[in-house]
Each structure stands twice: as C-alpha cells, then as structure tokens.
Amino acid sequence: MKILISIGTRPELIKLYPLVIELKKYKKIKTIICFTGQHDILIKKILKDFKLKPNYRLNCKNDFGNLNILTSKLYFGLDKVLKKEKPDLVIVQGDTTSALVSSVAAFHNKIKIAHVEAGLRSNHLEEPFPEEFNRLVISKIANLNFAPTKNAVNNLLNENIDKKTIYLTGNTVVDALNIFKKKKYFKKIKKTFILVTCHRRENYSYYQNLIKNIKLTASKVKDIQIRILCHPGILNFRNNKKKIQELSKFSSIKIYQSLTYFEILNLIANCKFIITDSGGIQEEAPSFKKFVYVIRNYTERVEGSKKGISKLISIKNNQVYREIIKNYKKKNLFDKKKFNPYGNGKAAKFISKILKKI
C-alpha cells in the first residue's frame, strides 16, 4: 500500500508527525511525504528539528496572501505528484488550503482520501476564513474521517456523512506533545507573564485594537509581563508592524517574530494564561494546564469552553484589557484536576492500525 501524506503548514506538520512515525513502522506501507510550500519559512526550522526529509517539496509559497493564486499553484504542483506516484491513499490534516486542494486533487484522480482532524465546525462559513469552507468540502469527499472528539463525530453525522467512514481517534497534537515532553525541551522561566498570539484572517483588521488593549494594560499596571508572538501575515497587514514596534517602549512587553515550535511550547508551559485566536494552542494549552482566552466570535473547539478551561472574548472592544486586569493576580484559572479534552496521546497509533487493516 502506498500512502501520500500532504503537508502545507506548520500545524499540519506538528499534528501529522506522530502519524508519520507510526506508519513508518509498517513495512507493507510505503509512506511518501509531500510538502506543498504553503508555509515556507515557518516550516523549514521545524523540518530540521524533527529531522524529517520530505520526498517532494513544492514551490507554492504565496507571498501576497492571495488564496486564488495559492490554490492554482497547489493544484498544478500536487497533480504532477499524484500522477507520478499514483498512491492508494492521500492523507490530509485539518482545514488549510493545502488540505483542501490535496483532497480535491486526489478526488479528481480517483484516489481515496483520509482526513485527520475531521468534523470541526464553527457553523459560521466566514469564521474562520477560509478554514470553515475548506473542512466542509473535505468532509464531502473523504473516504475516512478521523474525528478528534465526540462533538466532531456528531457534526459529521449531522451532515449525513456515512457512519462507517467515521472514527473517534482523539487529536494527534496531544501525541506530538507527549513525544516532545519526553525530550525535555522545556525550561523554567522565572518571570510570570501572559502570552498573546493572533493570526486569523478575520482578525487582521482588528489587530490594532488588540495592540491598544495591550498598551492600555502595560500603562495601567506595571507588574504585568506580556509576551507577544507575531505571525508574518499579521505583520504584513497594513501598518500593524509599526503599531507593534510602538509596544517596544514598554519594558514589560517582549515581542517575538521568529521562534521555533519548541520555544513556543516553552512559553505556553511557563505562562500564566493565554490570549489567542489559534486553534492549535487551544488544543495544546490544556496539556500544560493553562487557561485560554479565545479572541474570536466563534470556535470549533467547543470542548474547552464546556470544560471551563477556555473562554471566548471579543477583540473588537476593551474586553482583553478587562480580563487581564481581572485575572492576572489569581493563582489558578485552570482547574488542575481537569484533563485535556482533545485527546489521550494515542490517536496516531489508532489511526495507523485502521490504515493497516484497510
């Protein structure tokens, strides 16, 4: 059996890495890794850290953020690879443009599709954009749907996806964290700080309001330390970069523009709580017993809010500032007795066993 794993972004690589490890244990399965190039700079470092060499590296980088240009490049590059390799199955992860195009390209070539992290839904087509659309389309054509949670399973069933194609697996990101924890990448940071990240397209226009909230916090309360992770997309949008640089005058604020995945995990492990619109961090934070404020209108990861380990807040007003002021002195926002609702660290093994049987 020949399996092609399509990887386009850093989160995809992180979440598919445990599955790559498991599949390579089976001699009867030939695993081919295709890196699409959607995330170029972000993924180079992590490929090196993971000691992973793709069989194919496509040049589909999209410097202008135009989804149609990216999509056309991906179709052209992936079709060539699929026609050359003729895999029995294409594995995609999540809801990126790379995942969407890989799925449709495989469908056009009559190749079966396995979708890892299937069934996540915000039920709002433009939030997140374009991810909600991408995952809806993938679910319609996937032959195997590996859903991370019961809620994701129910979403698929409600859309009349064939029950026989759906498997409750947990999320492979928890598997990845367990691998990295054993390697002892984490070091204690003495200062108490709040971690802030923001990169969703629907939040680009509101990023300056987030900066205002952080600036207000830093000017009002001197003993709050804030660490900000900046995504290339945010930096390149309008004059966000100039606004971010204005925060540098505050000694209590540190800004990071380029960190390795392990360095990001170290910040998650050591922070007091997190303010983010990242889906991956919502899944990773519970493994470190960290509370998450989700700066979005809707989230497809509803398990966190149901468990009381995350909360939706607005980026459009002063709610970020109010939540920081209200909670930065509290000892535990996260109930230590609660566990990560997104997986038990055995998802990759379970998925690989299913693929082996097939």
Q: Give one DSSP letter per residue of 6-29, joined into a string.
A: EE-SHHHHHHHHHHHHHHTT-TT-
Cis bond leading into 18, ω under 30°? no
Question: Encoding tokens for residue 337?
Answer: 């007795």
Buried b (16+ CB within 10 A) or exposed e, 65-81: eeeeebbebbbebbeeb
Q: Do domains 2-171+343-357 and 193-327 have the same CATH topology?
A: yes
Strand, coil or helix: what is 48? helix
How large is the angle between the packed helices 41-50 and 261-270, nearest 10 degrees?
A: 90
Question: Encoding tokens for residue 194?
Answer: 């709040």
Strand, coil or helix: what is 198? strand
Buried b (16+ CB within 10 A) or exposed e, 124-142: eeebbebbbebbebbbeeb
Q: By the 8 A CB rule, do 330 and 148 touch? A: no
User: In this structure, which amino acid lies at residue 131?
Assistant: E
Question: Encoding tokens for residue 180?
Answer: 């990295």
Question: Over its length of 358 residues, how does the chain's per-residue pLDDT go in tens digits?
Answer: 999 999 999 999 999 999 999 999 999 999 999 999 887 777 777 887 788 899 999 988 766 678 999 999 999 999 999 999 999 999 999 999 999 999 999 999 999 999 999 999 999 999 999 999 999 999 999 999 999 999 999 999 999 999 999 999 999 999 999 988 776 667 788 789 999 999 888 888 888 899 999 999 999 888 889 999 987 666 555 667 777 888 888 999 999 987 888 899 999 999 999 999 999 999 999 999 999 999 999 999 999 999 999 999 999 999 999 999 999 999 889 998 899 999 999 999 999 999 998 8
pTM (two decimals): 0.92
| CB-count burial class (<10 Å; 0-12, 13-18, 19+) for 221 | middle
| Active-site residue flag, 199 | yes
Q: What are the extents of the domains in the chain? A: 2-171+343-357, 193-327
Residue with tokens 């709002």: 124
115, 124, 199, 231: which is the annotated catalytic residue?
199
Give the model's pLDDT for residue 51.
Answer: 83
Q: How far apart are CA 193 and CA 149, in angstroms?
A: 31
Q: How far apart are CA 16 and CA 117, in angstroms?
A: 10
What does CATH list as the number for 193-327?
3.40.50.2000
User: In this structure, which amino acid lies at residue 345?
Assistant: G
- How far is the CA of 323 from the CAs of 122, 202, 225, 330, in angstroms? 23, 22, 15, 11
**Residue 293 CB neighbour total at 10 angstroms:** 21
Question: How many CA atoms are closer than 13 Å to the CA of 126, on its beta-carbon side?
Answer: 2
Candidate CATH numbers 3.40.50.720, 3.40.91.10, 3.40.50.2000, 3.40.50.10800; the one for domain 2-171+343-357: 3.40.50.2000
Q: How far apart are CA 358 and CA 347, in angstroms?
A: 17
Q: Length of the chain, please? A: 358
Q: Which residues pair with 30 in a beta bridge?
A: 2
Radius of gyration, alpha carbons of the chain: 20
